[in-house]
A and B are shown apart, each in its own frame.
Chain A
C-alpha cells in the first residue's frame, strides 16, 4: 500500500507539472503568424537621447524604439514573397531608423480576434487595420489614446494629408482617437466596371455599349460566335463570386448610389424598394432564364470564379476594375507569352436609359481601415512621430513602394526588385525600369512583395501627391502612357462620385444587428429572384425579398442612413 501511495503521488506530480509548466509560459499566445489573439506589448521605448537624421529625414533615436502592432485585418496568409518582404522591411527599418517593428496577426476573422483580445486585455501598443466599430469599443473603454494634442505638432503631416476630410474623423467632442489607412481617394480611378473581351468585341463589330441591354446583346453575340471554350466546354455570359456585394455593385448601372436612391431632400430609398433595383434584378434573371448564367454563380469563391474566367468559360464580368485583368490576360500571358495583345478585357460602362448616370464607384475618403495607439503604449509621442513620418512623401514611398534601391528577388536571386531609389542626400526618384514595367504591365506583383510594401502602414493617404503625378500605387500612375489604362479612363469617365457623406460608420448594437439582418435578407432573397423561372415566380420572390427586408428593419436602417448623411454634410460644410 505504501508503494502504491508513493507511485500515486509521483504520478500526480508528473501530471500536474505539465499544465503548470505550459501555464507559466507568459509569451505571446500562438506565433506571430497565425496568432489567435495578440499578446501584450513589448517593453517601453525610451526617449531618444541624441539626434541623427537619416536620408529619409527621420531623427534616428539612440535607443531602439520598439513597436509591436496587431494587424487586425484578419485572414493573414502571406505568400513566401510576402513573408520575405515583411522580414526585409523589419530589418531595413531597424537598420536605418533604429525602430524595431513586430507584427502580430490572425489567420481567422480579425474582428473576432480583436474582440477576444479586448475581452482578455491582451493587445499590443498599436492595432491597425481595425474596423470603425472596434475603434469605438476601444475608445469607449479608454483603451485608445487621444491623439488630438499631437495633430498640430508632431502629427501635422497626417493632418495635412487628411485635408478636408479631417473634420469627419473627429468625434462629437472634436477629438481624434484613430488614424486612417488609405485615407482619401484617387477620384479619377474607377473601382468598379463591366468588362468585355476586346478581341471578341471587335469580332462582333465593336457595337456601342450604352445600356444594360446593349451589353447583354454584345455578350450574346460573342457567345453565338464562340459558344465553346478552346477545351470544348460550354460558356456563359455571366458569373459571380460569393464575396461580391451585389446590390451595391450592380445597382449603380441603374442610377443608384451604393444601393440607395437619394433625392434632393436627402431622402434615401433602398434598392429593393425601387423600380431601378427591380429592373437590375430582372436583367440578371433574364440572363439566368436564357441559360447563360453560371449555375454555380452564387456558390463560387473568387478562386472558383477566376478559374472559370481564365478558362474562358465566362464571357462577361461586372465587378472590380481589375478582376478581368487578374483572371484574364495576366494569366494567359503568363502561360503563353505569345498570347495576342488584343486577347484581353477592357472596362466598359453603361447605364439604364432612365438613369441620370452610371454611379459605379462611390469613393469614400475615410480610409479602408484604422489605426489606434492603445493604452499599453508607454511612449505615445515617439510612436506618433513614427506614424507621422509615414505621412510624408518619403514615408509614403517607403511604406507603399517598399524598400528603395533594390532588394533581392525571391524568384531570381541574381535580380534586384525596386520601385524607387533614394541617394545619400535624400534625393529620390521613381525607378525608370520599374515605371516601364508598370506602364507595359510586365511588373511581377508577386515578386514585388519582397520589398515589403504595405506591411506596416499605420497611416497612408490614397490621394495623389503634391506633384499631381505620384500616388501610393505603382500601377496607378502614367495612365496616358498605357493604351489599356487610357481606354479604361475614357470609358469610365462620369461613373465616379464622392460617397464619403453616405458612409455610415457609427453604429450601435441595434444598428449593427439590423444591418446584419438586412444583409441576410437580401443575400437569401436576391439569388432566389435571379434564379426565378417565370415572371410570376420572379414577382413572388421579389415580394418575398421586400417582406424579408422590411422584417429585418430596413425602414429603421434607412432613417439612420439619412440622419448620418445629413450630419456628415453639415460637418463637411463647416
Chain B
C-alpha cells in the first residue's frame, strides 16, 4: 500500500497549524504521554474558570449560577467604595513593596555570598540549614514568633536582662512593629528556598569568564559584580516580572496566625478581608469579584513589566 505523501511546503511558509500538525506527527509519543496532564489542566485549571461568572451574580450556595440574580459590577463597586479599601490597599502594597525589595534582594545576596564559600561541606551545610525554615508551617512559625517576641518572650527577656529597656516592648501588640516583623519572618523563612534558583543559575556560569576576569585583575568582589551578577540577570528579571504580578498578594496565613485585633490596622490585607467577608460568610460572589480584580491587575502588571523589560533590556518572558 502506498503511503500517502505530504505535499512538501517550504518551512518558512508553513502556517502555525501546519507546524502543529507536523509536531503531532513527528512527536506523537510525547503528545500521547502529555494527554493526562493536558486533560488535568483542562479539567482543573480551565473548566472551573466558568466560576468567575459568580462575580457578576448574587450567587447563593446551593443554586446554579444562572439561577441567581445578575448584578453586573455591583460587587466590584461595593469593594472599591468600601471605606476600608484605603487601609487594605496601604497594607497590601506596603508589605508587597517590602517583599519585592528586601525580600527579593535578600536571596540574591545570599546566593552570591554562598557561592563564594570555598569549603564544599560548609557550603552544603549552610545551604541545607537555610532551606529548613521553608518547610516549617505558619502555625509553628507563629508559635516561634510568639515565643521570641511576646512581652515575656526571649527578646524582651534579653533586653530587660541587659538593662536596655525598663519595660517589655509590645512587639506583637503595637501595629508599628508589624511590617518589620513580617518582612524579617518572611526573609528568614524564604531566603534559603528562593536562593536555590539563583544558585542554580550561578552554577551555569562559564568558568572561562571567571578565568578571564582573573586575568583582567578582578578580585572576588569584582567577579561577583561584573561576572556573576550580570550572568544571572535574566533569572533575576524573570522572577522580578513574576513577582510584580503578585503585588496584590501580601500574605494570608501569616496574618491570621500572628496578627491580632490590636494590630489589625496594619495586617488586614485584601486576601484576609476577602476571606472574612466572602468565604467565612458564604458570600462567594464578593470574594470572586475581588480575586478576579486582583488577577486582572496582576496580569496587566506582568504584561506591562514584561514590555518595559523588552524595551529596555531586550529580555522578556511572554513574547
Is B277's beta carbon under 8 Å from chain A?
A: yes
Interface of A is mostly: helix
Within 8 A of A (CB), among B122-177: 146, 150-152, 167-168, 170, 172-174
Query: Which of B62, B173, B277, B283 is A143 in contact with, Cβ under 8 Å?
Result: B62
Q: How far is the CB of B101 from chain A (nearest CB, A)?
A: 27
A524 to B264, CA, bound (A): 6
- A141 near B280 with CB under 8 A, answer no
Interface window among A54-62, A115-123, A274-282, A391-399: A115-123
Cα distance A118–B83 in the bound complex, in angstroms: 31
Interface residues contributed by chain A, number (CB under 8 Å): 52
On whether the beta carbons of B35 and A12 are closer than 8 Å, the reply is: yes
**Would B84 and A527 count as touching, CB distance under 8 A?**
no
CB of A295 within 8 A of CB of B36, answer no
Bound: A551/B83 CA distance, A: 6
Q: Is A105 an interface residue (CB 8 A)?
A: no
- List of B residues within 8 angstroms of A242 by Cβ: 260-261
A residues 94-134 near B (Cβ < 8 Å) are 109, 111-112, 114-116, 118-119, 121, 133-134
Q: Is A299 touching B260 in the complex (CB atoms < 8 A)?
A: yes
Q: How far is the CB of A3 from chain B (nearest CB, A)?
A: 10
B residues in contact with A513, CB < 8 Å: 277, 281, 283
CB distance from B257 to the nearest CB of A (A): 11
B63: Cβ under 8 A from any A Cβ: yes
Q: Which one, B29, B35, B276, contacts A516 given CB within 8 A?
A: B276
Residue pair B261, A295 in contact (C-beta under 8 Å): no
Q: Which of B58, B61, B146 has the most CB atoms of chain A within a 10 A radius of its CB?
A: B61
Contacts known (A242-B261, A531-B173); A8 close to B283, Cβ less than 8 A: no
The smallest C-beta distance from B32 to any residue of chain A, in angstroms, reads 4
A531 to B29, CA, bound (A): 68
In the assembled complex, which residues on chain A have CB atoms less than 8 Å from the CB atom of B284?
115, 119
Tell whether, in the assembled complex, residue B36 and residue A12 are in contact, meaning their CB atoms are under 8 Å apart. yes
Given contacts A137-B282, A143-B62, contact A520 B84 (CB under 8 A): yes
Q: How many angstroms between the C-alpha atoms of A516 and B29 in the bound complex?
A: 56
Flag whether A283 is at the interface (Cβ < 8 A). no
The 0/1 profile, CB within 8 Å of B marked 1, for residues 308-332 of chain A is 0000000000000000000000000
B9 at the interface (CB under 8 A from A): no
Q: Does B49 make an interface contact (CB < 8 A)?
A: no
A552 to B281, CA, bound (A): 17
With the chains together, A9 CA to B29 CA distance in Å? 8
Interface membership of B115, Cβ < 8 A:
no
Which chain A positions have C-beta within 8 A of B62? 118-119, 121, 137-138, 141, 143
Do the beta carbons of A296 and B32 come within 8 Å of each other? no
Tell me the minimal C-beta distance from A569 to chain B in angstroms: 28
A435 CB within 8 Å of chain B = no
- Bound complex: CA of A116 vs CA of B279, how far in Å? 10
Per the bound structure, the CA–CA distance linking A465 and B6 in Å amounts to 92
- From A298, which residue of chain B is reached at the shortest CB distance? B262
Please, which residues of chain B bring their CB within 8 A of the CB of A12? 32-33, 35-36
226-274 of chain A: CB within 8 A of chain B:
233, 242
Chain B CB within 8 A of A51 CB = no
Q: How far is the CA of A242 from the CA of B256 in the complex (A)?
A: 12
Residues of chain B lying within 8 A (CB to CB) of residue A133: 282
Complex formed: what's the CA distance from A370 to B172 in Å?
37
Q: Is the CB of B173 within 8 A of A299?
A: yes
**A512 and B281 in contact (CB under 8 A), knowing A242-B261, A520-B84?**
yes
The CA-CA distance from A513 to B277 in the complex, in Å, is 7
Contact of B29 with A5 in the complex, beta carbons under 8 Å: yes
**Interface residue from B40, B60, B261, B277 paired with A298 (Cβ < 8 Å):** B261
Cβ < 8 Å to B, chain A residues 518-550: 520, 523-524, 526-528, 531, 548
Known A8-B33, A516-B276, A523-B261; contact A137-B40, beta-carbon cutoff 8 A = no
Is the C-beta of B22 less than 8 angstroms from some C-beta in chain A? no
With A296-B173, A299-B150, A299-B262 known as contacts, the answer to whether A112 contacts B33 (CB < 8 A) is no
Least CB separation from B279: chain A residue: A112
Q: Does B220 contact A (CB under 8 A)?
A: no
Task: Give B18-52 interface residues, CB cut-off 8 Å to A.
Answer: 28-30, 32-33, 35-36, 39-40
Query: Given A298-B260, A531-B173 in contact, is the A291-B40 Cβ separation under 8 Å?
Result: no
Contact assessment for B32 and A9 in the assembled complex, using a CB-CB cutoff below 8 Å: yes
Q: Is A4 an interface residue (CB 8 A)?
A: yes
> A210 to nearest B CB, angstroms?
31
Query: How far in angstroms is the closest Cβ of chain B from A233?
Result: 8
Can you show 9 pairs from A to B with CB atoms below 8 A apart?
Answer: A16-B36, A137-B282, A138-B62, A143-B62, A242-B260, A291-B167, A294-B151, A299-B150, A527-B261
Interface residues of A (CB under 8 A from B): 1, 4-5, 7-9, 11-12, 15-16, 19, 109, 111-112, 114-116, 118-119, 121, 133-134, 137-138, 140-141, 143, 233, 242, 291, 294-299, 304, 509, 512-513, 516-517, 520, 523-524, 526-528, 531, 548, 551-552
- Nearest first, the 7 closest Cβ-Cβ pairs linking A and B are A115-B282, A298-B262, A119-B61, A295-B151, A551-B83, A527-B262, A118-B61
For the complex with contacts A4-B29, A119-B62, A513-B283, 19 further pairs of A-B residues with Cβ separation under 8 Å are A8-B33, A12-B33, A12-B36, A16-B35, A16-B36, A133-B282, A137-B60, A138-B62, A141-B60, A294-B151, A295-B151, A296-B151, A297-B173, A299-B260, A304-B146, A512-B281, A517-B82, A517-B84, A527-B261
